[in-house]
Amino acid sequence: MPADAIPLSQIRRILVTKLRHHGDVLLASPVFSALKAAAPLAQIDGLVYADTADMLSGHPDLDQLHAIDRAWKRLGLTGQAKAEWSLLKTLQSRQYDLIVHLTEHPRGAWLSRLLKPRYAVAPRVNGRGRFWKGSFTHFVSPIMGSGRRHVVEQNLDALRRLGMQPAQDQRALTFVPGADAEAHIAARLQSLGLEPGKFVHLHPPSRWHFKCWTAEGWANIIVRIRAAGWPVLLTAAPGAKEGHLIERIQTALAKHNEPPAASLAGALSLKDLGALTAQARCFAGVDSAPMHIAAAMRTPVVVLFGPSGEGHWGPWGTPRIGHHQVITRSAQFNCRPCGLDGCGGGKVSECLTHITPDEVWAAITPLLSDHQPLAHR
């Protein structure tokens, strides 16, 4: 235990901030579980961007979830100032004893100074000046080779720095679809003629094109899954960007005289997506928020990784059957994971496009076997 560990028995209210993308926010969910176990009498709040709030809402160890709406910028200076002021007054009324700031976002330093908690922890950021360094009582030092350390563990390092040691059962992801989403998905599956546990969920797109595999490759996989006797259900986020890949997959199927795959692309909320993937036999996709949601629901995941690092962002936890399967071409492309937006900045990642359908099918096949052992909860 560090010499400056905090007295948890004196902590009444805690604010955890995670101002990042959807998957990043979900990967912070174990922090709430571990904090509640360490300080069971404390109230634990979260602060996230409004569009990512569904990743944490419903968490059993979360008391209040506060949000910053990126759309406030469209309100003009006066409107944005009013919205920011209202949020600040709400946060000040909570009288936090501890702030756990999980990113390098500069807002964390301002919040720490304005909310005046007794303790505040944040990442140690090279090059940050006195303002950042004077805003927190504790700092988490970066780990050499942290690309091999999962984001979940890096988030929990903030608690370790304060003197907590999260138990293994506190490190699971928590995603709560809710009764409305579960009822909606039950009706949608029935309308498509799909039975729970008897279909394969494919979510091919990512919001980042350089993380995507080829439409032809996914069409090939759909043909193989169908030939093995399993129906396929496609999903994608709303909007043309992800929907375009789904269209190209359906076009590729038509070229092989195959009927289109069942699709709910663009039709589901994040909560719906969690309820859906929980009913799938397995999930296949790329490094994306839906992949992390599938892992959180303990659905077996097959995921293709290219420029992003599987050690850092891979599927977390133990699925209900089998094992998560990660596919890479590290042996051929020793430049990965590079974190770049495609080779040469060209938005296409050869370490992904060179993955073959045979490799993907080899990873999916064991998960469709009736002989897969069930994991214990």
pLDDT in tens, 312-367: 999 999 999 999 999 999 889 999 999 899 999 899 999 999 999 999 999 999 99
State which H helix or E strand residue 233 sits in.
strand 232-234
Is the separation of the CB atoms in 371 and 322 below 8 Å?
no
Task: Give burial (CB, 10 Å; 0-12/13-18/19+) of 345.
Answer: exposed
Distances (CA, A) of 67 to 15, 30, 50, 180: 12, 19, 5, 22
According to the model, what pLDDT value does residue 210 have? Answer: 93
Find tokens 């996709």 and name the residue: 285
Which DSSP string corresponds to 43-78? EEEEEEEGGGGGGTTT-TT-SEEEEE-GGGGGGHHH
Statement: the pTM of the whole predicted model exceeds 0.85: yes
In this structure, whether the domain defined by 8-170 belongs to CATH 3.30.56.10 is answered with no
Distance (Å, whole) CA 287 – CA 206: 7
What average pLDDT does range 104-108 have in this prediction?
A: 95
Model confidence over 84-103: pLDDT tens digits? 999 999 999 999 999 999 99
List, by residue range, all CATH 3.40.50.2000 domains of the chain.
Answer: 8-170, 179-368
Report DSSP letters for 153-169, one per residue. Answer: HHHHHHHHHTT----GG
CATH fourth-level superfamily of 179-368: Glycogen Phosphorylase B; (3.40.50.2000)
| Residues above pLDDT 70, as percent of the chain | 97
3-state secondary structure of 375: coil
Residue that is written with structure tokens 């969910």 in the block: 29
Long-range contacts of 4-9 (CB under 8 A, 24+ apart): 4/137, 4/138, 5/162, 5/163, 6/98, 6/118, 6/119, 6/138, 6/162, 6/163, 8/38, 8/39, 8/42, 8/163, 8/164, 9/39
Average pLDDT over residues 198-219: 96
Q: Give the model's pLDDT for residue 377.
A: 36
The answer to whether residues 135 and 114 touch, using CB atoms and an 8 Å cutoff, is no
What tokens were used for 275? 């309820």
**Rounded distance, CA 248 to CA 181, Å?**
28
- List pLDDT tens digits, range 124-169: 998 899 999 999 999 998 775 556 799 999 999 999 999 999 999 9
Residue 201 has pLDDT above 80, yes or no: yes
Query: Residue 256, SS3?
Result: coil
pLDDT of residue 297: 98
> Is residue 314 classed exposed, middle or buried when 0-12, 13-18 and 19+ CB atoms within 10 A define those classes?
buried
Share of the chain above pLDDT 90, in %: 92
The pLDDT score that the predictor gives to residue 369 is: 87
Q: Smallest Cα–Cα separation from 101: which of 119, 81, 122?
A: 122
Mean pLDDT over residues 263-273, rounded? 97
Q: Is residue 268 classed as helix, strand or coil in its secondary structure?
A: coil
Residue 177 half-sphere exposure toward CB, CA atoms < 13 A: 25
Q: Among residues 6, 3, 289, which one has the least CA distance to residue 151?
A: 289
> Rounded distance, CA 167 to CA 101, Å?
21
